[in-house]
Chain A
Amino acid sequence: MAIVGTLKTFKGGRYFPRLQGLPRGPLREGPVPPRVHLPLRQGFGEEPDPLVEVGQRVRTGEVLARSDEKISTPVLASLTGTVVRVEEGVHPLDGEPTTVITLEADPEPYRDDWAPLDVPRGNFERWGPEELGRILYEAGVTALGKWGFPTPFRTAPAEPSAIRALLVNAVEAEPYLRGDRALLFEEFEKFVTGLKILKSALGNIEVHVGLGYDLPHVLEELEARMEYHDWLYLHPLLPKYPQGEDEVLIKTILNEEVPAGRPPTDLGVVVCDVQLVVAAYEAVVEARPMVDRVVSIGGSAMAQPVNARVRLGTPVGDLLEQFGNQGPSRVIVGGPLRGSSVTDVDAPITREARALVALEEPRSPSVTTRWGFLPGADSHVRLLPPFGREKRATTALVGGTKPCIRCGDCVDICPQNLFPIELAEAGERGDLERAEELTIFACIECGLCSYICPSKIDLLEGIRKAKRWIREERLED
């Protein structure tokens, strides 16, 4: 029987108030865009080699790039059309160079012509890990998650045989991230079967599902459906950011600590999200390659906040146009705490893009510096009782940087029990030894220290810089 644990949570972290522009309503089907840009380095891993040439016609789901000997996952065509460009470009999220393939959709009348996966007949439970791993690999599913999903095709830092537990992150706590929740509600059947598929793909392992306790009916339903599966553990969790991060989830559920800066596979643990489970079902049962993903589209500057299935490679400009962006705004791919802001309407949605958030930007300092807190911004919650209304999130700095007042809030909120200000100051001084002594690589870059600091010091940026220097120094040695 599925085993249900007690309500768990972790040290630090933060609940966010209800924000304006949360994605809601049923899952929408995004349109097929006229063109897509596909960076070859998607998700975790290296860049596979392109197999197509300019001018070649491709069908939806056809392999564009694949390298079995590199740690990588194939990149698939996400629409039916023509390859118009294969050239060096930059990755939209980290700005590092990568090869980008651009596809142009067929002209009207458009026909979405799918290249189905090569899937054997019969019950997947008899296929064995090797075969399931191949299907997941060819479907492009294995690139999801921070560290990939292990298969015999080198898709993660470890072999499947080294894995003893799979953790499913079904608790979304970052503001505006609602895609997993929408998938749980609408694709529950796929999720249940998907869990079984992943378990079969990894062999004899335990599966732990961490679920927000604010979804009790999902938990009950899951418990009832998985009654005869004693490898499944269900854990109700408080939906506190960053509960979904690999390190925090492992610490909460298994009470084990991932060594600083190492992948969880070092502990024999793999973390995946709802998206991966559902995509695994679609690949194995429906022979459907993963050419789209659910993206939460929201934010204070988004007219129509929704969760939508979006073809990979869709330029953010297309989505902004469709879901209505009122006036200029800062557009962020990913959540507002971990995402990266994009400046180009052509920046594509990639496999790891969980959300597209548009935030208003303050044009004047008036209220923000006069009173120290912005009425209606995500705040006052601490100094005044919350009023139950939705808060309006902007990118306002709220007052400008001041010297550290040693309040210790950054220490309290850090989910990794670090000493953020000490780390940032050590970085500032160039004292990299002290930074390493304080285990700087345990920082998961959740951003909460920068978020909470009353002096508005960008602690995370200081930590990132120090990390970069240390890495550079190691390379030189």
Chain B
Amino acid sequence: MSAPVPTPTASQETRRRRIELLPAGGGGRFAVARAPYLRDGVGVRGYLGAFALALVPAVLGAVALFGLHVLAVIALSYAVGLLMHYGFSRLQRRPRPDEGILLTAMLFALVLPPNPPWALVVLGSVFAFLAREIFGGLGRYPFQPALVGKALLVILFPAAMARFWEPLAGGAGFAQWAPAEPATQTPLTAVLQGQEVPLGTLLGAQPGLLGGAFAGLLLLGGVWLLFTRAVDWRIPLGMVLTAWLGGGLLTMLYPEVLGPSGLVHLLSGGFLLAAFWLAADPVTSPMTPRGKWLFAIAVTLLIVILRGLIPWPEEAIVFAVLMMNALVPWLDRVAAPRPFGSSAGGQGQGGKKG
């Protein structure tokens, strides 16, 4: 019962011509080539850009408090950053521009004192971008570059870096926002010297770092970051809770060195800037969940303790974060997650084809 072997019919041939299937990777550079074929739409730009965007309220607050020159400081920081990045990426043949600059330049400007000398802004930016670019730029730097720049400035020019300004220093109308005189004290130094500072002051304007002066606005940006899940919640939340509870405990034990309460530590000295941005920078913080918790707790306790010990309490966040950055690879190793199914020794045959 054998039938002749039919040849493809005409309709099948036309069909074959009408439907065009793209080969894997058909779209070339713009399309994924292999499964998974869907990719999340959030890229590095969206990710790190969100961090920079969340700083906008704090920048506006700083402009209102200290004057328009704040914008010039930020612009200068971006200009130096872009130039340095351009040079280095040419040397190292890396793609340009890299989105991380959005964040690094902004953070560097915000950890400066409110009215820094121009020369120091440039010098610090150069330091910061050196710390970023010699390691290979985006994703490769082990230490938060903005903080490296700041740390070098503090060590080289401690006096210039300690000139904080008193916001809201009298006057009427718009003039009341202009800085009047350098403040000798920030709430943090005052508290550490045993003076009372009402908590209300801490949430509003206070003398301090350029970006850390308005804790309420930082909190606003931070909550937006948490809400949009651009920042991993473990580090900011871990730091806030540790400052409140752990800081509270430490200050109870050593009130004369560490000040009266954990809440003051939480709301002053740019702590929120550290919690949501500087320490939480994805590049220089651990990747594993447990590592993030350990990192957050250690950074916070270091900040609280350093504030009592070093001559520049306002800069405690800088040194604490940098110190913990050095431990990140180790933290990731000891806190690596335990894969499910590894108890059996992981000596599987792997896949159905063995």
1/0 contact string of B108-145 vs chain A (CB within 8 Å): 00000000000000000000000000001111100000
* A404–B43 touching, CB < 8 Å: no
Most buried by B among A365, A395, A404, A414: A395
Choose from A55, A361, A403 the contact partner of B5 (Cβ within 8 Å): A55
> Which residue of chain B lies nearest to A362 when distances are taken between CB atoms in the complex?
B30
Task: Enumerate chain A residues within 8 angstroms of B39, measured Cβ to Cβ.
Answer: 396-398, 450-451, 456
Choose from A362, A373, A405 the contact partner of B138 (Cβ within 8 Å): A405
Choose from A104, A334, A342 the contact partner of B6 (Cβ within 8 Å): A104
Q: Is B341 engaged at the interface, CB distance under 8 Å to the other chain? A: yes
Given A344-B21, A403-B139, A441:B348 Cβ within 8 A: yes
* B42–A397 touching, CB < 8 Å: no
Q: Is B338 engaged at the interface, CB distance under 8 Å to the other chain? A: yes
Task: Enumerate chain B residues within 8 angstroms of A16, measured Cβ to Cβ.
Answer: 38
> Which residue of chain A lies nearest to B53 when distances are taken between CB atoms in the complex?
A383
Please report which residues of chain A, range 299-354, place their CB below 8 angstroms from some CB of chain B when the two chains form the complex.
317-318, 320-321, 325, 327-332, 334, 336-345
Choose from A147, A397, A439 the contact partner of B29 (Cβ within 8 Å): A397
- Report the number of A-B residue pairs with Cβ-Cβ less than 8 Å: 308
Q: Is B286 engaged at the interface, CB distance under 8 Å to the other chain? A: yes
In terms of DSSP, what is the predominant structure of the interface of chain A?
loop
Name the distance in Å between B72's Cβ and chain A's nearest Cβ.
28
In terms of DSSP, what is the predominant structure of the interface of chain B?
loop
* A317–B351 touching, CB < 8 Å: no
Given A419-B288, A471-B351, A362:B27 Cβ within 8 A: yes
Task: Enumerate chain B residues within 8 angstroms of A442, measured Cβ to Cβ.
Answer: 339-342, 346, 348
* B340–A379 touching, CB < 8 Å: no
Given A339-B37, A372-B49, A460-B36, A455:B139 Cβ within 8 A: yes
> Which residue of chain A lies nearest to B5 when distances are taken between CB atoms in the complex?
A84
How far is A86 from B343 in the complex, measured between Cα atoms in Å? 45
* A408–B292 touching, CB < 8 Å: yes
* B289–A411 touching, CB < 8 Å: yes
> Which residue of chain A lies nearest to B38 when distances are taken between CB atoms in the complex?
A336
Name the distance in Å between B222's Cβ and chain A's nearest Cβ.
15
* B29–A402 touching, CB < 8 Å: no
How far is A338 from B230 in the complex, measured between Cα atoms in Å? 27
Task: Enumerate chain B residues within 8 angstroms of A378, measured Cβ to Cβ.
Answer: 38, 40-41
Choose from A55, A247, A260, A327 the contact partner of B20 (Cβ within 8 Å): A327
Name the distance in Å between B93's Cβ and chain A's nearest Cβ.
14
1/0 contact string of A417-461 vs chain B (CB within 8 Å): 111011000000000000011111110000110111111101011
How far is A349 from B186 in the complex, measured between Cα atoms in Å? 71
* A447–B35 touching, CB < 8 Å: yes
Task: Enumerate chain A residues within 8 angstroms of B15, measured Cβ to Cβ.
Answer: 317-318, 321, 345
How far is A30 from B246 in the complex, measured between Cα atoms in Å? 66
Task: Enumerate chain B residues within 8 angstroms of A262, measured Cβ to Cβ.
Answer: 341, 344, 348-349
Given A57-B3, A417-B339, A467:B38 Cβ within 8 A: no
Task: Enumerate chain A residues within 8 angstroms of B43, measured Cβ to Cβ.
Answer: 372-373, 398-399, 402, 454-456
Task: Enumerate chain A residues within 8 angstroms of B289, measured Cβ to Cβ.
Answer: 408, 411-412
Please report which residues of chain A, range 25-67, place their CB below 8 angstroms from some CB of chain B when the two chains form the complex.
34-35, 44, 54-57
* B47–A407 touching, CB < 8 Å: yes
Task: Enumerate chain B residues within 8 angstroms of A454, measured Cβ to Cβ.
Answer: 40, 42-44, 46-47
How far is A310 from B343 in the complex, measured between Cα atoms in Å? 42
Given A261-B349, A262-B344, A345:B19 Cβ within 8 A: yes
Q: Is B22 engaged at the interface, CB distance under 8 Å to the other chain? A: yes
Name the distance in Å between B197's Cβ and chain A's nearest Cβ.
36
Given A363-B27, A382-B229, A406:B341 Cβ within 8 A: no
Q: Is A374 engaged at the interface, CB distance under 8 Å to the other chain? A: yes
Q: Is A115 engaged at the interface, CB distance under 8 Å to the other chain? A: no
* B36–A383 touching, CB < 8 Å: no
Name the distance in Å between B273's Cβ and chain A's nearest Cβ.
19
Task: Enumerate chain A residues within 8 angstroms of B45, measured Cβ to Cβ.
Answer: 371-373, 399
Given A147-B352, A259-B341, A362-B31, A452:B40 Cβ within 8 A: yes
Task: Enumerate chain A residues within 8 angstroms of B188, measured Cβ to Cβ.
Answer: none
6 closest A-B pairs by CB: A379-B41, A261-B348, A372-B45, A447-B36, A259-B344, A399-B43
Interface residues of B (CB under 8 A from A): 1-3, 5-6, 9, 12, 15-16, 18-24, 26-27, 29-32, 34-50, 98-100, 136-140, 228-230, 232, 282-289, 292, 332, 336-346, 348-352, 354
